[in-house]
């Protein structure tokens, strides 16, 4: 598989503060994972800064200006979890612009898929609020641009934390399907079964909230079921919020995925859309070794060779939650 890998040195300069789990070393671990993936022909790309036109499709202009002013004034804390420094402004612009560049290159046929190693992450950012380590909603910026161009977009979010920002931005958009597997209850407290979208978008928002201790067996079964929902939606593009904090070694959550699970996740999303229409965005994941190995497994899976390995087993409650989520989705969609 020919993979477009987009990253930039400025992402290492963004900081949330000392001893913060979302730290520059994560970037190096992910790059090492991309390099370690077997059977991948990597093409490197440079992300341009997103402009106000792209950002304002999902963020209020006053919020964008406020983030610029805050960073240029020296930065600090935006909330108890989220910080910024002067270099965070350029990093945030380039993180938001990375997906737009990936779309351009994939449309030119320069790669089969793209993986974006960016910081800060994005899926918690709301239209006018930074939160959960996120400044701009990187994946939403790209989805909104694609929708404006007449495309249908499915977003699969496998970060352990629900992508509340992404869900909120497209909750009433019938051209965007949002599918999230996440731990519940957990930060940010959203993502329950009945959050299905509004108006013409009812049924395009599908949440799979899973309890502490859920392993890869439930994820693998859930993926098999989700394929039919995605096929029915018939997206032109598939975007992935690729978080790795559902790994059993991650310090911020309590799910129990292993590397082979991420390989199957990568294989599943690659099969959901035509070649050249898959973009994966780095979100969470805070154990550096697990991050490196899981990224490599994801890419090998997307290339059609997921690494072998058995999943860890889940408690009965996880299977019950999965079935309840599936029943809710089937009842809504048919």
SS (H, E, C) the chain: CEEEEECCHHHHCCCCCCCCCCCCHHHHHHHHHHHHCCCCEEEEECCCCCCHHHHCCCCCHHHHHHHHHHHHCCCEECCCCCEECCCHHHHHHHHHHHHHHHHHHHHCCCCCEEEECCCCCCCCCECCECECCECCCHHHHHHHHHHHCCCCEEEEECCCCCCHHHHHHCCCCCCEEEEEEEECCCCCCCCCCCCCCCHHHCCCEEEEEECCCCEHHHHHHHHHHHHHHHHHHCCCEEEEEECCCCECCCCCCCCEECHHHHHHHHHHHHCCCCCCCEEEEECCCCCHHHHHHHHHHHHHHHCCCCCCCCCCCCCHHHHHHHHHHHHHHHHHHC
Please tell me the distance from the alpha carbon of residue 10 to that of residue 7, in angstroms, as a whole number.
9
Sequence-ordered list of residues with C-beta below 8 angstroms from that of 139, at least 6 positions apart, any chain: 99, 122, 123, 155, 163, 166, 239, 241, 281
| Burial of residue 152 (number of CB atoms within 10 Å: 0-12, 13-18, 19+) | middle
Please tell me the distance from the alpha carbon of residue 243 to that of residue 295, in angstroms, as a whole number.
9
Of the residues 14, 124, 162, 247, only one is catalytic, namely 124
> CA neighbours within 13 Å on the CB side: how many for 139?
40
Let me know if 124 is a catalytic residue. Answer: yes
Q: Which residues are catalytic?
A: 124
């Amino acid at each position: 598989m020919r993979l477009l890998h987009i990253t930039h040195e400025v992402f290492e300069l963004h900081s949330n503060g000392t001893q913060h789990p979302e730290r520059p070393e994560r970037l190096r671990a992910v790059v090492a994972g991309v390099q370690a993936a077997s059977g991948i022909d990597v093409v490197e790309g440079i992300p341009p800064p997103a402009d106000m036109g792209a950002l304002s499709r999902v963020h209020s202009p006053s919020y964008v200006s406020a983030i610029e002013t805050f960073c240029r004034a020296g930065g600090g804390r935006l909330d108890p979890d989220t910080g910024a420094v002067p270099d965070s402004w350029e990093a945030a612009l380039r993180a938001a612009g990375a997906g737009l560049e990936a779309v351009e290159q994939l449309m030119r046929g320069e790669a089969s898929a793209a993986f974006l190693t960016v910081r800060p992450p994005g899926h918690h950012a709301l239209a006018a609020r930074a939160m959960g380590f996120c400044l701009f909603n990187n994946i939403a910026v790209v989805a909104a641009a694609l929708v404006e161009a007449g495309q249908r977009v499915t977003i699969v979010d496998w970060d352990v934390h629900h992508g509340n920002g992404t869900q909120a931005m497209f909750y009433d958009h019938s051209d965007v399907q949002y599918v999230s597997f996440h731990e519940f209850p957990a930060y940010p407290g959203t993502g329950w079964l009945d959050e299905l979208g509004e108006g013409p978008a009812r049924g395009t928002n599908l949440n799979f909230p899973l309890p502490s201790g859920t392993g890869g067996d439930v994820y693998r079964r859930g993926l098999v079921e989700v394929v039919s929902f995605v096929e029915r939606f018939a997206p032109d593009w598939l975007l992935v919020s690729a978080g790795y904090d559902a790994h059993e070694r991650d310090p911020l959550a309590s799910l129990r995925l292993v590397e082979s699970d991420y390989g199957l996740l990568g294989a599943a999303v690659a099969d959901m859309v035509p070649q050249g229409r898959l973009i994966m965005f780095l979100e969470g994941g805070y154990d550096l070794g697990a991050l490196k190995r899981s990224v490599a497994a994801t890419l090998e899976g997307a290339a059609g060779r997921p690494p072998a390995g058995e999943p860890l087993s889940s408690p009965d409650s996880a299977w019950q939650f999965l079935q309840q989520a599936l029943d809710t989705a089937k009842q809504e969609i048919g």
